[in-house]
Each structure stands twice: as structure tokens, then as C-alpha cells.
Structure 1
Amino acid sequence: MTYNPLINLRASYDAGKAQGIVSVCSAHPIVIEAALTRAARLRTAALIEATCNQVNQEGGYTGMTPADFRRYVLDIADRVGLSHERVILGGDHLGPNPWKNLPPQEAMQKACDMIAAYAGAGFVKLHLDASMGCAGEAAHLPDHIVAERAVMMAARAEAHAKTPPVYIIGTEIPTPGGATEALDHLAPTTPESVQATYRVHKASFHAQIPQAWARVIGIVVQPGVEFGHDEIVFYDRGKATRLIRALGNMQGLIYEAHSTDYQPETALSQLVTDGFCILKVGPALTFALREALYGLDDIAQVLDPARARLRDSMENIMLEKPVYWRDHYGDDPAAQRILRHFSYSDRIRYYWPMPAAEKAVDDLLKSFNGQALPETLVSQYLPRFYGRIIDGSLQNDVQAILLQSIQDVLELYGRAARDSIN
């Protein structure tokens, strides 16, 4: 049976020993390897989640079905020596979002087929999110319709699951992946809103699949954290006081916090203490990976000024297929050029799996011929790794540097979540 610390989160919180778990929301192989390597080293669990747009029964933008994604993650686990029992697979925002342009009945049929595929493939953490309107509906639906559709999906999951899954309900506004509007007026979810979501979902579960309600372990809220293209809103627990208190009225549940990317460790630790025990992170991990790749690109350019630059290759790839950034980065060409590469929302992450990008990265890494990097160039272009390389705690190797760039972020989250004591 899969090791699942999720079921103990509320008990730890009630005992005054709040403990969290880091949810890694990425399909990038280096990010997943970094997360699984850390879990193997600490003998803890690794929670890896895929979104409905990344992975679904039609392939998503990764080209993977849930069964494909499971094999993909477990193959990496085998390579790094992490037992399959320590890998927790989750599905994020599972609902009609990929098909919201279709009529509601058709979109929900596809959403139910998707969650059946997730459950059947062994995903044990399922976020039910039917909050978005479909063709002919309002953008945001009333709570009772959202709950009815969530339970419809949960019933399909129950019928196909090999292991009884745990469920997350609710959603946050704005939608995940980074806000596209100004963040001046961001506010935590109100207690009235979260309690209404809780009550209507509880009633719907009890009316249709009462046995599954005990496995609803979390509810998504906005704790007052967010990131945009070039700004971050940091957690202010004083503004979330009423929301924190509301958790006491929702027996068995903890909060799931989306968009926690780029929060400092003190804020993440406070979030866990305050009941936001599931910390989701994604863009911050690929942002750190991109920083390391571009640092290596700078070093390679010094060593061989004639070689093609990774940054130039990525610019060309993004310009040739602007679908993932064009509607997000405004109309100023100069600002667009910077944001394509350096935005906190990190929409460049959608391009790394493309064959041309994979080849550009592979060419960069091969250009070092397996040789150690000159220490002076590491100091110049990758300074946060310099001390560890010269004292021998980090191998002077491009692959080790890439993995460490991600693990540095994961360690920050892990300390805040206190997940190494699992």
C-alpha cells in the first residue's frame, strides 16, 4: 500500500504539531528526479502532481495519459532508488477545464472519463475542481452546481480506484500558474466562502457517496499569497486570521495552498503552522532550473564564443510558437522579450519538452564533455554553487548542478513543512 502521510495532516495540526507536505507540480524530468532523489535520501514521501491540462485521457500538453505519467514517474523513482510506496501521485484541478468550450454535459463526461483514468492509474490524491463554467454558462458557477459536479467525478473515481483515494475540494481565484492582473487587491478567502463550500460539498457527498466523505482531507483556499510576472505577494498571517479560525469548524480538513511559489521560508513555515499544510510549488522549481541552465549557457559562451546560445535558441522557439505566452505578457515588445525568459510565472516551462528545446539543452550539456567547470566561471555565473563546489559538498558536474538548483528550493519547502520527519 502506498505510504500516504496526507491522512495524518489534520491530526498533527489538532495536536499542535502541524506538519506539511510539499506538492511538486511539474512534469519536467529533472524536477521530478530532484524531488524523488530528495525523498530517497530523507526516507520520506514525494508528492508529485499533474494538472488536467498537462495529463489527461487525451494526452494533455505533455502527450501523456495518467497511466503514462505514472510509468514516467516510477521509472525515475527506480533510477534514483526510491520505493514505489514512497511515491504519492496526485491530480490537480481535475474537472472540465480542458473542455470548458464544450456544452456542460459533454465537458463533464470528459472530466469524468479523465478522473476515472487518474484513479485507475493509481493516483491517490484527487483535487475535484468543477468551478469553471462551460459553454453557455457563467465563468464561475454557484456552489451547489460545483459540488454536484465534484461528487459526480468522485463517484467515477470511486468506481475505478485500485486504492481508495483522498479528495481535495474547492478552488482559488485567480486560477493557478500566476496572476495576470495587478495584485494590489489580493485578499484571503473569506470564512463565509470557505464554510459555504465545505457545507455544500459535505451535503452532496452524503447524498450520493457518503462513504467517501471521510476521505475528503483538504480544501483549497487563497491564504493571501500570489505571484505575477514580476511581483510577489507574501503571506501575512494577520490578514488570514479569520480564515485560520474557520478551519476549526471543518472537522478532518486542512487547507491546501496554491501559488506558494517564491514565498520565503518564514512565510511557508507560518502557512503550515496556520493549517495550510499542503504547499504546492511548480513554477519556482522550473524557474530555478532555468537560472542554472542560463548560468551554464554563460559559462559555455566564455569557453567557446562561437557556439550557439541556449537563450537564443529558446527565444526563437518561443517566437515561433507564441501560444503559451502571447496572451499573458502584454503588448510591449521589450517587456515581452524579458518576460519570456525571466517572468515569475515562468511560461518558458511549457517549451522545455519541445524537441528543439530538448536538443538545445542537450547540446549545451554535451559541450562540457563531462569536464569539471572552471571554478572562477562558476563563481562568476553560478555563484550560489561556488562555495559548495570548492568545499567538495557539491560535485563539479553539470547534472549535479541542475539537480541542486531544484533541490535548494525543495529543501526550503521541506524545512518549512517539516516533512523530513515522516
Structure 2
Amino acid sequence: MSRHLLELATARREGRPFGVTSVCSAHPTVLRAALRRASTTRRHVLIEATCNQVNHLGGYTGMTPFDFVTLVEKIAGETGLPRELLIFGGDHLGPNPWRREPSGEALAKASEMVRAYIAAGFGKIHIDTSMGCAGEPAALDDRTIAERAADLCKVAEATAKSLGIAPPVYVLGTEVPVPGGADHVLDVVEPTSPDAARATIAIHKEVFEAAGLSEAFGRVLAFVVQPGVEFGSENVIVYDRPKAVELAAVLRDFDSLVFEAHSTDYQPENALSALVRDGFAILKVGPGLTFAYREALYALDMIASEMIPAYGSRPLAATMERLMEDHPDEWRGHYHGDALSLKLQRHYSYSDRIRYYWHRTEAAQAVERLEAALDGKQIPEPLLRQYLPHLTVAALASPQDILIAAVDQVLMIYDSAAHQA
């Protein structure tokens, strides 16, 4: 299953590049949309859980890696997706959730997390040790990052061996964008310099071989670099192909590698296609999917307010505002400005920090109330056009089908870019 990803470099080398969409979300509706699409296309689907969402201590979703696999496999079974087409990935596995603790403690927890991911059946592991811990610089030097990555790789290899399961494939790198996008307006994002990319690959190879991990390094399928794409709270930096020409050329020296592109959310299809053609074959997307979900959910909140007097005036949006005001830790420090700017960002930011709240009981109940209010109702076509003008759905589509269709519109763009590059 995860071995399918090793074909990315072969295809690039042979002049027939294809890509894979890395769906980085733990939201059930996003997962259902991705798995339903894969069931239809009969292509492999890569589902990734991030260290903050899912870890051995529960993460912000309350799920362990085993819980996450169980959820995804259940949905896959309901959509008719064969298990052999399902690939599980762990994203940003490292000390990030505990970076405010001393490095020894944070890395010990990261080791336990990696062990749990491998034991749960994750076959693609992105090791991210790029961040400093308590008392350290925010960004570490390449050698320290590589040494810490090798330590986590040893844990993964030993766990797989002890359980008698196939060892994972890996993604490494030091120039890793902030998970979830930038927290400020961006003017420009420079691609990683070719020399820096070559140096990162060389240092990791040297460190891994010195640690007795030559065979594991042979299963490194990609390095994370910055191709010059990013999104902030209110704007998106689109891929500028000429600026990344020299970076893309680095892959000519490494037949077994591709690059992994993070923060590709909100890129237009032509930009995603260009990324794949240039060797950035793994396209990670997360907030862009839950943004589409929230967008459609808020549209349905408006539609129900228009159609059903007893429903009230946008109660779902009001519930989310109360939740975010009462529990500000997930957005405070990421959004900036006066009171109105903060309110708008809480709900509509490209960074989509609202995604951290959908799993809360109050949010889930508000969504259930909205779906119950609209269930079995035929939404007039002009009303659908008013609030969901770009979505084509049947007149009697259920709220859940409408939400899945909204997410699938984004996934369709990625699918097309990945396989028609």
C-alpha cells in the first residue's frame, strides 16, 4: 500500500509524473468525501493524521492513532473502498505538541507517539524535528534536526520489526512550513535554495548511515522543501513556477526522491498541476478542505434560517462564536487586529482555526440540529444558488450529501492536477 508512493519517483524519472493528494484531516465528513472519491476512482488514497490532531495521548480530537485508523477503516467500509487502496500517513511526527517542554521530555513523548503510529498501521511517516524545544532556538540546525529524526526513525524501525509488520516509508526535511499555514499576511514566499535542499539531503544521508539506518534511508521517498506556496489568514501565495526551476532541478541528482509540498491549500488547479510536473508530487491539503466544509455548513445555516422560522437566525454560527470566545487558545496568537477583524477571522480565515472546534459537544449538537432541520426538505433551486452558487447537487440532497459535495469539489481539483499533470 505505502509502497505505491515509491512509484512517484520512478514516474518522475521516466517523464510520466503523477501526484498524490495527502488528505490531512481527522474530520469525518472530509474523510468520507475523500474515501468516497477513491472508491469511485479506484485510486490509492492517502489519509494523514497530524501530531496535534492524533497522538498517543489523544491530541485535540481525543483520538489515538489506533482510534483514527479504526474510524477511517469504518468509513472506508461504508463507502466500499478496498482496504488495499488505503494508505495511512503520520504528519509532522516529532516534538511539536510538546515543544514548550525541555527537549528530552518532548522527544521522549515524540518517540512514544511514533511507536503508537507504527503499531496502528501507518505506513508513511513524516518525521519533523525542525522545531526547537524549551530553551532552544525556534529553528534548529540541519545536523541536530537530522540526528533527532534518526532517533525517531530507529523507534519506527524497531517497532515495525518487533510487530513483524512491513517497515514504513519516510518523508524528511528541515525547511518545513508551519502546520496549518502562516499566521500573518504574506507578501512573498521564497522557495528553498537548491544548495540548502542538497545540503539537507546529504546531511540526513550521512547521519542515517552513521546511525545504522542505511536500509531505512533507502525508503525515504521525499524531502519537504518550500516551493514558494503558502497561505495566511487572508491571502494565498500561488506557485510561481519560474522561481522554483532551480529547486526542482535538484531532483535530477536523486533518482529515488520527490519533494513533498505542504500548505498547498487554496492553490488553483494549474498551479497544482505545475507542482506535480516539477517533482512536488505529494500535495498536502488540510485547512482548505475543512474551510470548504465550514463554508457549506454556514450556507446551510443561512438556508435553514430563511426556510424554517422555528430554526432561528444562524444558530450554528452563533454557537461557534460562543465556543471560540469561551475557548480562545486555538486561535489567539494566530489572528490579529481589532475586535471586528478578530471576529471575521475566527469564522472566515483561510487558516481555518475553527476546525479545532468541530469535535466539541456543543458544535456537534449544533450541526446535528441544522441537519435535522433540513433533513427531508427540498431546498428551492434559487435559494441553493443564493448561498451555494458553485455547487451542483440534487434538489433533495441531504445536508450531509451537500457537505460532502462541497469538500469533494476541492478534492476533484487535486485529483485532476495529480493525474493529468
The question of a shared fold, defined as TM-score above 0.5 by the shorter chain, is answered with yes
**Native 8 Å contact 1:122 1:163 kept in 2:** no
Query: What residue is the counterpart of 2:203 in the other structure?
Result: 200
Q: Residue 54 of structure 1 contacts residue 62 of structure 1 at CA under 8 Å; is this kept in 2? A: yes
In the TM superposition, what is the alpha-carbon distance from 1:313 to its structure 2 partner?
A: 1.3
**Alignment correspondent of 2:330:** 324
Cα distance in structure 2, aligned partners of 1:220 and 1:85: 26
What whole-Å deviation, never above 9, does each CA across 1:53-91 have from its counterpart, x for those lacking one?
Answer: 111111111111111111111111111111221110000
Contact 1:373 1:397 in 2 (8 A): no
Map of 2:380 onto structure 1:
374
- Aligned to 1:116, what secondary structure does the other structure show? helix
Separation in structure 1 between the aligned mates of residue 265 and residue 248 of structure 2, nearest angstrom: 20
Is the 1:54–1:60 Cα contact (8 Å) retained in structure 2?
Answer: yes
Maintained 8 Å contact 2:142/2:174? no
**Equivalenced residues, count:** 414
User: Which residue pairs with 1:301 in the alignment?
Assistant: 305
Q: Higher mean Cα deviation, 402-411 or 296-305?
A: 296-305
Per the TM alignment, residue 4 of structure 1 is displaced from its structure 2 partner at its CA by: 4.0
Task: Note the residue ranges of structure 1 that are not aligned, 5 or more in a row.
Answer: none
Query: Which amino acid in 2 is paired with 1:326?
Result: R
User: Is 2:253 the counterpart of 1:252?
Assistant: no
CA distance in 1, matches of 2:2, 2:146: 29
Whether 1:126 and 2:125 are equivalent positions in the alignment is: yes
Which is further off, 106-115 or 278-287? 106-115
In structure 1, C-alpha distance between the alignment counterparts of 2:102 and 2:300, rounded to whole Å: 48
Look up the match of 2:363: 357
- Counterpart amino acid of residue 145 in structure 1: T
1:306 deviates by: 4.0
What CA distance in whole angstroms lies between the structure 1 residues aligned with 2:316 and 2:87? 34
Whole-angstrom CA distance in 2 between matches of 1:372 and 1:171: 51
* Within-5 A mapping of 1:263-282: 263-282=267-286
CA contact (8 A) 2:375 2:398 kept: no
> What is the CA–CA distance in structure 1 between the aligned matches of 2:206 and 2:2, rounded to whole Å?
30
1:283 alignment partner in structure 2: 287
Code of the residue aligned with 1:350 in structure 2: it is Y
Match of 1:225 in 2: 229
Counterpart secondary structure, 1:246: helix
1:40-189 equivalences in 2 (<5 Å): 40-161=39-160, 162-189=165-192
Q: Is the 8 A contact 1:198 1:250 kept in 2?
A: no
Contact 1:4/1:88 (8 A) holds in 2: no
**Equivalent in 340, 344, 368 of residue 346 of structure 2:** 340
TM-score (norm 1): 0.95
Gaps of 5+ in 2: none
Q: Distance in 2 between matches of 1:287 and 1:268?
A: 18
Q: State which drifts further: 167-176 or 139-148.
A: 167-176
Distance change >3 Å, CA 137–CA 192, structure 1 → 2 = same
TM-score, normalising length: structure 2? 0.95
Cα offset, 1:112, TM superposition: 1.1
Equivalent position amino acid for 2:260 in 1: E
SS of structure 2 residue aligned to 1:56: coil
Cα distance, 1:173–1:90 mapped onto 2, change above 3 Å? closer
Determine if contact 1:21/1:419 at 8 Å carries over to the other structure. no
Residues 55 and 61 in structure 1, CA contact (< 8 A), matched pair in contact too: yes
Hey, what's the Cα distance between the residues in 2 that align with 1:153 and 1:273?
31
Q: Deviations over 1:182-222 (max 9, x none)?
A: 32241001111111110011111112211111100000011
CA contact (8 A) 1:3 1:86 kept: no
Deviation at residue 121 of structure 1 after TM alignment: 1.0
Deviation at 1:376, TM superposition (A): 2.3
Residue identity matched to 2:409: D
* One of 377, 384, 393 as aligned partner of 2:390: 384
Segment of structure 1 superposing worse, 274-283 or 70-79: 70-79
Query: Could you list the per-position Cα deviations for residues 16-47 of structure 1 after superposition, in whole angstroms to 9, with x for gaps in the alignment?
Result: 11100000000000000000000001111110
Q: Is the 8 A contact 1:20 1:419 kept in 2?
A: no
The secondary structure found in structure 1 opposite 2:21 is strand
Amino acid at match of 1:333: A
Instruction: From the superposition, tell whether residues 214 and 3 of structure 1 become closer, same or farther in structure 2 (CA, over 3 Å).
Output: closer
Q: Aligned equivalents of 1:32 and 1:249: distance in 2?
A: 36
The answer for the alignment partner of 1:240 in structure 2 is: 244
